[in-house]
Each structure stands twice: as structure tokens, then as C-alpha cells.
Amino acid sequence: MLKKTTLLTLLFSFVLTLANASAPAVSEEHSEKEKSGSYNPVPMIMHHIADAHEIHFWGEGENAFSIPLPVILWTNNGLVTFMASEFHHDDAGHHVVERKGMKFTRSHGKIYYANEYADSHGSFISHDVDGHSENAKPLDFSITKSVVGIFVTMLILLLIFGSVARSYKTNGGIPRKLTGWMEPLVIFVRDDIAKANIGEAKYKKFVPFLLSIFFFILVLNVLGLTPLGFNVTGNIAVTLVLAVISLIVTLISANKNYWGHIFNPPVPVLLKPLMIPIEIVGIFTKPFALMIRLFANITAGHIVILSLISLIFIAQAGSGTGMAWGVSPAAFALTLFIFVLEVLVAFLQAYIFTLLTALFVGMSVEEHH
């Protein structure tokens, strides 16, 4: 079972890495103070919860400390690779990089082909009347911050499950140290999620899949609470792929009774034309709910914590350092409370996603009574 869980974790990591290639990233410099001198926390918050082409730790501009990540583009002239740190300001102040005779520019974390002319705002990114970019984009397969978070999670899970497997072999199946912490969680997923919702006759083959989902989401959620700032489960591209995987497993496992209920619902004949489309739509609304629930809860938690911290800087910008010190105790207490709550949410969201997945699988394999 541990081997299957490990293989599924690797599969999730690979698929989610590809999904992040098309997800927007934010990494360009931003200003937190408006011209009026007031503090604007929105750019900082959006910068934190969005993906990026580098891992930012502290500072702004030349004083910033960050780790640049590889940029991998498939362009009109083939594959182009370079480090995100190679983006620079040209003589006109544009944020660009040149490779293979092509010039690229970055706006709101997305990389575009730079037009040879600047718009009225002096930017290479031109927009139509609706504000949408008119510039073409190369296919972006970059190793972004979210992809690094997935790799780190994969490594953590491999180390944990590898250590647990070795411990069981060495100690004759007796749980010790780390194994003693992991065994209750594994049993919980097996008995209270898989067996309870899928049924004792068919639950065993789904346990590795459900364990992979549970621990993968759990570690990603907890990792997002660290100073590294990995907001992977707050990236809708990631939750979308997880929901699609859940949908595929549900549909592949479905039996005749499930499909019969969809295309021949047990209702009066006159209601069948109405119920069949509703049942078909229901197939897709279930994973959609999984996607939105995980994404919204994790993102909201990050926004609330950062907003509470920003109260200190808003008070300083508006009324001086004295007011900032006065606001700090309340802001710190509220932030600490929300942070502890977010630790609970990290476990709760992993549990809910796994529970509902098991419920949907159980509905698809349930025999006719």
C-alpha cells in the first residue's frame, strides 16, 4: 500500500507540474505606497498569494533577497530557457530579456513577446479597449514557485513514507517514533474515510489513492503556512487538476448501476427528459465544488492573515509610529488566532477533499439494492 501511495504521489506531482505551466505568476516589482503616502496592502497580498518566477524572501528592489527560478518557454523559434533573474530594464525602462533574436517582457507574472513599439504608457504590453493584452504569449513551462512547492512536498512525502516503511520492516510491524504518528492518520483514512464511504467489499484498492490525496493536500496546506510562502493549494490550476483526477477515478470505477441511474433515473417517465440533463451536469458539479472549496478556503486564509498584518503599516502610514505600536498587540493577537485556525483548516480541507472523493467513488461503485 505504501508503494502504491508513493507512486500516486509522484504521478500527482508530475501532472500538477504541467498544470502550473499555464498558471499565471506574479513576480515583478510592486509599490506598496500610493502617491498620497498611504499604505496600500493589495499589491503585497496579491504578490504573496500568486505564483511567481522566483521565491521571494524579503526586501524590495535592489535590496530584495530572492531565489530566481528557471524560465522555460516554447516559442516560434523553438525552446528558450533562461533564469528569471535575467529579466532587466532596458534603456527605455522596459522589463525585458532577449533570446534567439526574440524579445520577451513580463507583466503581472505572465511572459509575452515584446512588441517593437511601446504603447501610450511606455510599456511593451499593449491592451485593447477591454483591458486585455494584445500581445502573443509563448507556451510557458517554467519552474515557478508553485512547482517548487510541489517538488518539496513530493520529497517530504517520499522521505516520510520511506522512513515509515523501513521502520515497519526493522521493528517487525511495531510503530515507533515517526511511525507512531503516521499510523493513526493512515488508519483514519482507511477506516473512517475509505471503508465508511466505499464499503468494506471494495474499499481496499482505493486506499492508496485516498492516502495520496490526503497527505499531498495536507503537506501542501501546511507548507503554505511557512515563511517560504508556497500557496500551491491556493492556485486554482492545482485544485482543478486534483478535482479532475478525482473525477477520472470516479468515472473509471463506475459500474452499470451508476450509469443506469444517470441515463435512466428512477423517476416517472415524464420527468426523465428533465432529470437526465441534471444528472449529467451533476457529474461535473461535484469535482467543481471540490476545486472551488479547497482553492477558496486556502486563499482566504492567506488574505486574512496578511490583511491583519497590514493593519500595522496602514496605521503607521496614516497616524505615525505611535499608532502603529498601539495597533500592533491587537493585530498580532488576531493574526496568531487566525494562523492557529489555518492550521486546523489545513487538516480540515485535506480531510474534506478526501472524504468527498471517497463518497463520490462509493456512489459510483455501489451495487443496486
The DSSP-derived string for 149-167 is HHHHHHHHHHHHHHHHHHH
Place of cell 507556451: 139
3-class SS shares of the chain: helix, strand, coil, % to 5: 60, 10, 25
Tens digit of pLDDT for each residue in 29-83? Answer: 444 444 445 778 887 788 778 888 888 777 666 666 778 889 999 988 889 888 8
CA dist 43 and 187 (Å) reads: 43
CA dist 97 and 84 (Å) reads: 9
Backbone angles phi, psi at 75, to 5 degrees: -115, -175
Name, in order, each residue with C-beta under 8 angstroms of 305's C-beta and a sequence gap of 6 or more: 335, 338, 339, 342
User: Are the C-beta atoms of residues 294 and 233 closer than 8 Å to each other?
Assistant: yes
CA dist 6 and 154 (Å) reads: 9
Tens digit of pLDDT for each residue in 266-308? Answer: 888 888 889 999 999 999 999 999 999 999 999 998 899 988 9
| Helix pair 236-253, 321-365: axis angle to 10 deg | 10
- Name the grid cell of 37: 503616502
What is the model's pTM? 0.80
Q: In Å, what is the CA distance from 246 to each residue of 12, 213, 233, 258?
A: 11, 9, 15, 16
